[in-house]
Chain A
Amino acid sequence: MKIVVCIKQVPDTKGGVKFNPDGTLDRGAMLAIMNPDDKAGLEAALRLKDQYGAEVTVVTMGLPKAEEVLREALAMGADKGILVTDRVLGGADTWATSTTIAGAIRNLEYDLIITGRQAIDGDTAQVGPQISEHLNIPVISYAQDIKIDGDSVIVQRQYEDRYHVVKAKMPCLITALSELNEPRYMTPGGIFDAYAAEITTWGRADLKDVDDSNLGLKGSPTQIAKASDKVRKGAGEKVTLDPEESVAYIMGKLTEKHII
């Protein structure tokens, strides 16, 4: 079995966030980690590898620095790492990103593609399903459990109040939730091996069946008009009312602010 896992290097949201003047994130200036949902997706792939035997290839698109998450994935047990990096790919929205990644994956053999549900920086949860559309394969999103049954996968797809058990024939794409599992640690020796390993680097020329008009900032249908820091909450408000009126007042405020 061949599994492709798409991972993204994201800012460690504990470390503070910085923007470029054009409103996109200044990725070079921030502490970076492997996106948590992607890490769960990688762990799921590695467990399938432990259980059934599989070759796990990790793919990421980003700055040259994004190579770090590929090394981390190799140190956890992935077999191959592919970095897709090119200036013309920068500033991509989810459409341009999914086009790029699909273009890269077309060069690979795969039975299963696993992505995270969403990245903690953009928070869109769109790239996984869009990749499946580009590749014309089924998608099962929000996976909380994955099993292999012959040439099919059986996945528990999470909903707000339940889960569905969905069976799909491979090849297919699954988006993973960080609740899916507890990702394994790297091993010290694995880290040194990962840095000795070869990372494949692909640029624009290596993307298969992709049109320039669908890549990078120029190929993005959406553009970020403005980005700003979160507006700070004002000082608290103290009200002196009797208990019933207080409840009505608080509920009114919460509704007004769309919290409930």
Chain B
Amino acid sequence: MDFTLSKEHEMARKLFRDFAQNEVKPLAQEVDETEVFPRETVEKMQKLGFLGIPVPKQYGGQGCDPLTYVMCVEELSKVCGTTGVIVSAHTSLCVDPILTYGTEEQKQKYLPDLAGGKKLGAFGLTEPGAGTDAQGQQTKAVLDGDEWVLNGSKCFITNGKEADVYIVIAVTGIVEKRGRKMKEISAFIVEKGTPGFTFGTKEKKMGIRGSSTYELIFTDCRIPKENLLGPKGKGFNIAMHTLDGGRIGIAAQALGLAEGALERTIDYVKERKQFGRSIAQFQNTQFQLADMATKVEAAKMLVYKAAMAKATQKVYSVEAAMAKLYAAEVAMEVTTKAVQLHGGYGYIREYDVERMMRDAKITEIYEGTSEVQRMVISGNILK
């Protein structure tokens, strides 16, 4: 076992950190305040290959490992949670399932643009009645000649409206399993601009406010037969496996938020004076920081371990669930303490920590709530 990062990873981190400091940080407050999707930043990241980090070079990607990708999301999220999740949703939830389940034709058609920087991706699974209970899908896909006809809607879709390519999960029939009638669920690739595919409400969120979260609506939306992703009826497995990877991305976002809030707080307590000395000289401050730093380090180990598991193991559900569960809860706790240590100023929007606290909360909810992660973990322990 070796906890030292390779020189390649160290240099990649330097790249992501420089980019985050120079290009992302100056816009973070404005993006939050105005709720405007940071299109220019996304274009810069596309140019530099940040949106195809774990994709093989033959498909226009950077050919790096999952850990490099995770470090990118982490470093971006240290300064802007919005930018972190844009990269994560695109890479883990759209590019990864095409790479994992796509036919060679589908990979050739979609990956070079998605990984190489022309197109953005999104993932549509959640419905108003199907959140944690993802089996409760209502959106239907019916084969009509050479086309699938989609009807239904999806909600809370990250990168919605901004993305060009969507992975959409829908019911394709009813099957009998052990005498019980079950929905047969399949996955599809749907492109923006397809007639019958429109966008509904834009959600007004507490945090990650620059990330565009939209409702997707399908009304007799016809897509080619060959846009079925993976085998018919395997949509639920595809979605679950995709989320395992996505959870590592969200864990990295949560880790970045916690690290960013901790960094800000360390700077602040050294400068801020009360009772004639810096507040860093009070033992309460010191102990709070020690706890925060220790938890951040523990979260980091879980997140990096999950990224390594994705690189080397076929199944990494538990590693991903533990990393996401712990990193998200650490993010929430650390950002809350960061606001407290900033005192009244921490509650003011000019200081970054209150934004980080708002951003942190979603990491306990999306891509599987903390409760879902506990279900995955305990299910594995008790099996």
Contacts and interface: CB of A to CB of B under 8 A. Distances in A.
Given A191-B11, A191-B12, A192-B8, A185 B18 contact: yes
Contacts of B68: 188, 192
Given A192-B63, A192-B64, A187 B8 contact: no
A68 B8 CA distance: 10
A14 to B, nearest CB: 12
Interface string B25-60: 000000000000000000000001110010001000
A186 B64 contact: no
Interface string A57-74: 000000000001001100
Interface in A179-215: 185-189, 191-192, 194-195
A188 B53 CA distance: 7
B49 A187 contact: yes
Given A195-B7, A195-B8, A185 B64 contact: no
Contact of B19 (A185, A192, A194, A195): A185
B211 interface: no
Contacts of A71: 7, 11
A186 B49 CA distance: 10
B48 A187 contact: yes
**Majority secondary structure of chain A interface residues (helix, strand, loop or mixed):** helix
Interface in A63-104: 68, 71-72, 75
Contacts, number: 49
**Majority secondary structure of chain B interface residues (helix, strand, loop or mixed):** helix
Contacts of A68: 7, 11
Indicate the member of B11, B49, B57 with the most A CB atoms within 10 Å: B11
Nearest to B15: A186
A191 B15 contact: yes
A188 B19 contact: no
Contacts of A72: 11
A44 B57 CA distance: 27
Contacts of B97: none
Contacts of A185: 15, 18-19, 48
Nearest to B62: A189
B49 A191 contact: no
Contacts of A75: 11, 15
Contacts of B11: 68, 71-72, 75, 186, 191, 194-195
Nearest to A195: B8
Contacts of B12: 188, 191-192
A186 B11 CA distance: 9
A187 B115 CA distance: 13
Interface string A150-186: 0000000000000000000000000000000000011
Interface string B1-27: 000001110011001001100000000
Given A185-B15, A192-B62, 16 more contacts: A75-B11, A185-B18, A185-B19, A185-B48, A187-B15, A188-B50, A188-B64, A188-B68, A188-B72, A189-B61, A189-B64, A192-B63, A192-B64, A192-B68, A194-B11, A195-B6
